[in-house]
Structure 1
Amino acid sequence: MVHFRHRLRALTVGGLALLTAATALPASAAAPDRTDRPSDGGLSAVIRYTEYGIPHITGKDYAQLGFGQGWAQATDQVCTLADGFVTLRGDRSRHFGGDAAPDRSLSAAATNLSSDLHFRGLRDARTVEKLLDRPAPLGPTRQAKELMRGWAAGYNAWLRQNKITDPACRTADWVRPVTTPDVARRLHAITQLAGHGAVVDGTTAPRPQDKKPARTAGALDPAKASRELLVRRGNTMGSNAVAFSGSTTADGRGLLHGNLHYPWQGGARFWQTQLTIPGELNVAGGSLLGVPIVTVGHNADMAWNYTVATGMAMSVYELKTVPGDPYSYLVDGKRERMTKRAVTVPVRGKDGRTTEVTRTQWWTRFGPVTTSMEDIPLPWTAGSVHTLVDPSTDNLRVTDAFLALSKADGVRGVQDALRRTQGLPWVNTIAADSRGHSLYTQSQVLPRVTDELAKRCSTPLGRQVFPASGLAVLDGSRRDCALGNDPDALQPGTFGPAAMPTLVDAPYAENANDSAWLANADRPLTGYPRIFGDIGTTRSVRTRGVIEDVAAMAKRGNLKVADLQRQEFANRAPAGDLAAKDAAKACAALPGGKATGSNGKAVDVSAACDVLAGWDRTVRAGSRGALLFDRFWRALVSSVPEQRLWRVPFSAAAPVTTPNTLNTADPGFARALADAVGELRAAGIALDAPWGEHQFVVRNGKRIPLSGGAHELGIWNVITARWDAQRGGYHDVVHGSSYIQAVGFDGSGCPVARTLLTYGQSSNPLSPHYSDQTELYSAGRMVTSRFCEKDILASPKLKVVRVSER
């Protein structure tokens, strides 16, 4: 069970005596009536801040806990949060113009206008309000709704009682109070990021064409384009996580290491907190902004993390339209009329004047009509139309899933929580507990497309894209092609818990954004439907590197939390281990030490050979040669297909060690080397320049060097940064290592945890917590977690604040 070691103590802060904790209550004493009903009177909470501005929030019930979370998030992130609520109101075009690109944390819309059409359409249809009104378990529980209500009240109270100092929105008229449905809309948008939210541009203004566009020579390969859907998702959000069972650890208890690779700017940032209702809930970890409960983290007995899963969260139905009526379609020969949604958006022009733009969206029994899915064209012709199926459009159970995980007392509790709530949208869950159990499970909301259904009902397009990516394109004109129901699924048309790929009590269970297949390389998971992910195919260099590292750690045994922290900052580059020696040898053999670049000019690359040979195969800040290899490797893998890149091809019998042996005879090798050398020299950058001198961020004028590197290099500690040679190299981080945790258990009820929020708690450059943890990250250090009462009270930075609506 979760241990609570609170005690009654008054602390004097600023001359005021504040109650900082409540008397401990046993779990059996928690009264559902007290925690489930709305709070009487004004809401309040106690927030105790420790080092690095980490808040420990205590509330008497769920509404008051949400209040404290909303207040504290506003303190650190008011401008980022407010910008997100502008998006959810469908008001970006009014304030920022229709053609500008929005922050893509809530959808993949390319323009503000497209984003506004999407979110205003959902508001006009009262989609979220209808989901809030659904009784649990299909709808959110009272506890979840109370958390949302409290969060909105806390955010609003902060706006009323404080002056905004962040220059990003200090004088903005778009910073406004929010409602409970606004908080729910944010959660709803998060669930759809891999589904409807990923194809907003194709659903916001579809129009029928007179005829099907003619295919031209060299048209995009649909199978390749569908694979790119997953690649692009992995290039914006990803993660590593590993759970070690007690058989590998020094004390027989589980260990968890998680590293979320999320954006460093905008609404997809994480934020760190501890949330406590005495006798009811005690959890610490990271929360996505706007979420009223911990998203990943630990309690006294269990730690969990997510990684972005390969499951295809959406599917497509192709419908036959009625001759002469493109707005009607046939199902088993019977005519059905589409639902029309006319959505009006105010748009500010370049002259500052606002006009209204109206677009019509069309919906079918399956979902919205779409005319494209990223690079895959889905034309609406005189004979057919395509419509999207995303089960998460009807999913507002995600808060209950987070809450249930926060309360789970071990791996079995995690499995039970996921089985009861069935609300996680596009992630895997990795967990470890104090009893020594480990878990990997791909328990996500997915459309129930079995392999049999795909084989029987795929359209010609579907037969190309489904094997390649798991994206189903099905014949919607037949009722027997409907998704069907699993007996254990809460939501019709989705897979139930029994279908989820799951691995329990393996010595290690890992994921680095590949499929479930090699969660443990010695215990491969197979037999799951293709829509969950693939089996027997090449793993990414990052997955291969992670498996090599964690398998070696598990074999060595006697693991402790300190070993997890060392792994985080080892910064080994598996691509370097695979290719640098071959590249250096082939470089030395080039005639005259020269190679021809993409521009057709010969480049003297002779100096690069020794640099590549001498590189230590890491991307630590002081590593010399890492930058040269990085620029060479990116140029090579972007121009040479995998089948030409390696001499030894992939083998499913040796998936961690193949493919291997760089094919330096391919013309792309010398070309990539010449391009990398020429690029660095043109920018005045030495070929053996230290990595940290050319990968950095600037915070308040201070340049902070960063270790870590790109996914393509296979780095555990992923950093994806903008490259500009003339500005010194990788000068700003787009996404990468964000909330990092290493958690173990010693039997005391106080977890042994190290955490790091790489970009700090606040995006306000005037905050003391704008870059403090970034400097820790640069130094390869982490924060010692203060979970138990004695540790919180011992903090030398302890600051106690009581916040309330009044």
Structure 2
Amino acid sequence: MTPRIARGAVVLGTATLAAAALSGCATGNGNWSEQGLSAEIRRTSYGIPHIRANDYASVAFGMAYAYAQDNVCLMASQVVTVSGERSATFGPDGTTEVSFKPMRNADADAFFRAILDDDALQASAARQSPEAHELLRGYIAGYNRYLRDTPPSKRPAACRDAAWVRPITALDMARLAEEKSIQASAGALAAGIVAAAPPQVTKSAAKSAALPARIDIAAIDFEAVNRDLQLLDPPIGSNGWAFGKAATADGSGLLLGNPHFPWTTTNRFYQAHLTVPGKLDVMGASIASFPIISIGFNKDVAWTHTVSTARRFTLFELKLADGDPTTYLIDGKPRKMTTKTVSYAAKLADGRTEQRSHTFYMTEYGPVVAMPQAGLPWTAQKAYTLRDANQNNTRSIDTWLDIARAHNVGEIRTAIGNLGIPWVNTIATDRSGRAMFADVSVTPNVSTSMLESCAPAGDGAVLAKKLMAGTGMVLLDGSRGVCNWTVDPASPVPGLVPPSAMPVLERDDFVANSNDSSWLANPAQKMEGFSPVLGPQAVPQRLRTRVGLMEIGKRLNGVDGLPGNRFDIQNLQTVLFRDRNLAAELVLDDLLRACRTKAVQGDSDLRDGCTALGKWDRRSNLESRAAPLFREFWMRAHVIPNVYAIAFNPADPVNTPRGLRMQDATVNTAVLKALKDAVGAMRKAGFALDAPLGEVQAAKSPNGLIPLHGGEEYEGVLNKLQSQPVSADGLKVFFGTSYVQTVGFDANGPVAQALLVYGQSIDPASPHAWDQMRQFSAKRWISLPFSEQAIAADPQLSVTKLSQ
């Protein structure tokens, strides 16, 4: 039967549940069946499920069931993607998203079928803990149970009666997790991996194979490569602040978790509360189909994550054998590339289905990648290959389970020591008032000296430096065995940086990160001396990093206009959601001074733009007039070379760079052009130059527009919302503040308020698709019921019992 969520209890039962293992689900130890599983799902306001069960398998059983109720179509579609079945399902020329970028279905199918190594994934999963196996067993059973309980005709419109919605297996779960793990590595370079094909070697080419291939490095547009790959400046991000007893009003820990993730796809968060009495009691948010909480809290600790600057892969330049572009040399000895040919079905427009295939070339490092636009072509002399640090990383479930069971930040530090965290920092605090920042995550063990000694020969050394600085990619000499990753016995994973050598900072005042490196986690104790592979130091910081440290400093010095000089939940929320626009504070005064010149006053567009910006309150609130105009201006102006009047000073990284170099004629001309173009863009889109932000930046819901406060990365607004340039549809947000939580502690347990901006469900017909966005718009936080008393008292409480 299909459950109806209503006040009271709905008991779901079947005459018998399958006792045998699910077909195709055996992975390592364990019997992947529903035998003995039962859970209670209690939903409180905004559709938040609180799952209570007597064991790990059963709590995951309930979690998956609840997630499927809200997002079955989303998960089913992603299972199709990671299975390499999109061409057969939706046609080869449609698109999907791979590592936050669009990709043709045909290319995505080939990529996932080649790169996701099912045998290796299953072998790695066999090393997971028994508790992780139980979580997976329960999650698989819960999702499949929902499919049995809900006829295809009763599912959401996006996948109603769709044949591609099918039961999942353990292999599906492994693939889903692997897709997440490699988003900052192989997934980011998926197009180059698919494009790699050996050159045709003619006799004349074979004769010249001994000559070094020349790369016109000066012709490479590294900025364009960076925009395409999104490695150095990824669209996803986060603010993570943890305060200790020296910085909080009550002497206990306090946390802000503010990830900026996609509002679509399976990188959406999902709120949940998981309870196994005596073993687990954790609440927060998971990433889509993950069977444990990713960002959250228990009665003693709270934690969040921010996207780290550490590298997750390296490229190796291969020296090829004369006349054979598929044989490479290591220490002078030839190694033959292996081929991996994958096949997939493609549904054609005329209704026919044809079989297609694609051949990939593999080395002992990993797949060959070809990106001529980045100076990485496959020629008769050279090829490039990728080694992925996150390949077959099945450790994450155990990592987050151990975090969920931690009693203090020390135990969280121990939990992340298995190197299961794929590409994020960990920021945490506890009720005793200790705060921690840790970039203990999957990172190739490549030292600073190794970056120099293992640079490729000739032009490759220059290219390596340009790639590192311009795109974040590390290029090493693959022709020397000594240049492979260093194996340190202190690391639990061979070839990765050991936890003891990674940036960790524990303090009683605060730690903070907004996606720059560990360098300024606390400016009073700069973290220095780490390999550039862990991120750059002493470089200009993001405006979000700077404004965050400014806000924290002002609060602790008692000069931010709020009472006192310590943080509590209320003033922490105020600081985040007052939507201060740092870019305006840095440059607007100089722009307005230039507005008074005769040249500007004689141009009606510039004059009108200046008048509008003169009215702006320099914030990104709903009522902030001309905020959209400034965004359009600064989107264009912030990339002007040498635009700042005062350059970056590593001795003052929070306050520099700043000002506009308007005394420079070239900069002056470019800045005024940026303003004129911004005025034109606003007028073309049909908006007044002084239109308030909430009129231009709004989400379209079935019940009308929902105005949105917040600003762009380059504006330095903590509450980051990333949008398309202004159009007739306004500023359409597609990334940004997603799940945001503030957590403190009192004698009774955690005190948590949060918002899941886009709501629990992706189904537009769901009452929980837009409900929290309206709260976000009004800056109204939701109190999260954690105790049994709070759950029972929720006015929207409903109960569903899953049982045999």
In structure 2, the residue matched to 1:428 is: 425
1:455-534 paired onto structure 2 within 5 Å:
455-459=452-456, 460=460, 461-466=463-468, 470-534=472-536
Aligned residue identity for 1:531: V
Give the C-alpha shift of residue 193 in structure 1: 0.6
1:191-590 paired onto structure 2 within 5 Å:
191-209=181-199, 210=201, 219-222=219-222, 224=223, 228=227, 231=230, 234-372=233-371, 375-419=373-417, 421-459=418-456, 460=460, 461-466=463-468, 470-556=472-558, 557-590=565-598
Distance across 1 between alignment mates of 2:287 and 2:217: 45
**Larger CA deviation: 148-157 vs 498-507:** 498-507
Distance across 1 between alignment mates of 2:215 and 2:481: 30
In structure 1, the residue matched to 2:650 is: 652
Give the C-alpha shift of residue 203 in structure 1: 1.4
**Contact 2:516–2:542 (CA under 8 A) maintained in structure 1:** yes
**Contact 2:7–2:796 (CA under 8 A) maintained in structure 1:** no
**Contact 1:285–1:295 (CA under 8 A) maintained in structure 2:** yes
Aligned residue identity for 1:85: V
**Contact 1:361–1:368 (CA under 8 A) maintained in structure 2:** yes
Give the C-alpha shift of residue 623 in structure 1: 0.8
Structure 1 counterpart SS, 2:482: helix
Aligned residue identity for 2:156: D
Distance across 1 between alignment mates of 2:140 and 2:606: 60
Give the C-alpha shift of residue 466 in structure 1: 3.3
CA-atom RMSD in angstroms: 2.3
Q: 1:664 to 1:632 in 2, by over 3 A?
A: same
In structure 2, the residue matched to 1:61 is: 55
Q: Residues 113-162 of structure 1: CA distance to partner in whole angstroms, max 9, x if unpaired?
A: 121112112456523222223x3xxxx21211221121111011101101
Distance across 2 between alignment mates of 1:608 and 1:486: 59
Distance across 2 between alignment mates of 1:612 and 1:470: 36
Point out where structure 2 has 5 or more consecutive residues left out of the alignment. 1-5, 14-28, 206-211, 559-564
Distance across 1 between alignment mates of 2:442 and 2:218: 36
Q: 1:475 to 1:796 in 2, by over 3 A?
A: same
Aligned residue identity for 2:582: P
1:173 aligns with 2:171: no
Compute the TM-score of the two structures, normalised by the length of structure 1.
Answer: 0.90
Aligned residue identity for 2:743: V
Distance across 2 between alignment mates of 1:156 and 1:742: 34
In structure 1, the residue matched to 2:91 is: 97
**Contact 2:581–2:717 (CA under 8 A) maintained in structure 1:** yes
**Contact 2:63–2:291 (CA under 8 A) maintained in structure 1:** yes
Aligned residue identity for 2:650: A
Give the C-alpha shift of residue 675 in structure 1: 0.9
Give the C-alpha shift of residue 542 in structure 1: 1.4
Distance across 2 between alignment mates of 1:55 and 1:334: 59
1:50 aligns with 2:58: no
Distance across 2 between alignment mates of 1:80 and 1:256: 30
Give the C-alpha shift of residue 487 in structure 1: 2.4
In structure 2, the residue matched to 1:625 is: 626
Q: 2:71 aligns with which of 63, 77, 82?
A: 77
Distance across 2 between alignment mates of 1:657 and 1:217: 34
Structure 2 counterpart SS, 1:143: helix
1:9-48 paired onto structure 2 within 5 Å:
13=8, 41-48=35-42
**Contact 2:84–2:109 (CA under 8 A) maintained in structure 1:** yes
Structure 2 counterpart SS, 1:770: coil
Aligned residue identity for 1:634: M
In structure 2, the residue matched to 1:743 is: 743
**Contact 1:627–1:690 (CA under 8 A) maintained in structure 2:** yes
**Larger CA deviation: 483-492 vs 246-255:** 483-492
Compute the TM-score of the two structures, normalised by the length of structure 2.
Answer: 0.90
Structure 1 counterpart SS, 2:299: coil
Give the C-alpha shift of residue 506 in structure 1: 4.9
Distance across 2 between alignment mates of 1:127 and 1:321: 28
Identity over aligned residues, as a percent?
Answer: 37
Aligned residue identity for 1:582: D
Q: 1:497 to 1:17 in 2, by over 3 A?
A: closer
Q: 1:578 to 1:303 in 2, by over 3 A?
A: same
Aligned residue identity for 1:329: Y
In structure 1, the residue matched to 2:112 is: 119
Q: 1:15 to 1:739 in 2, by over 3 A?
A: closer
Q: 1:386 to 1:132 in 2, by over 3 A?
A: same
**Contact 1:760–1:774 (CA under 8 A) maintained in structure 2:** yes
1:160 aligns with 2:148: yes
Distance across 2 between alignment mates of 1:687 and 1:353: 53
**Larger CA deviation: 317-326 vs 667-676:** 317-326
Distance across 1 between alignment mates of 2:118 and 2:320: 24
Give the C-alpha shift of residue 405 in structure 1: 0.9
In structure 1, the residue matched to 2:615 is: 614
Structure 1 counterpart SS, 2:567: coil
Structure 2 counterpart SS, 1:786: coil
**Contact 1:315–1:471 (CA under 8 A) maintained in structure 2:** yes
Give the C-alpha shift of residue 683 in structure 1: 3.4
Q: Residues 746-781 of structure 1: CA distance to partner in whole angstroms, max 9, x if unpaired?
A: 132x21110100000001111110110010011011
Q: Residues 576-631 of structure 1: CA distance to partner in whole angstroms, max 9, x if unpaired?
A: 11111211121122426145xxxxxxx53223323222311101001112112111
Q: Residues 80-103 of structure 1: CA distance to partner in whole angstroms, max 9, x if unpaired?
A: 111100001100111122222203
Q: 1:12 to 1:370 in 2, by over 3 A?
A: closer
Q: 1:282 to 1:37 in 2, by over 3 A?
A: farther
Distance across 1 between alignment mates of 2:715 and 2:649: 21
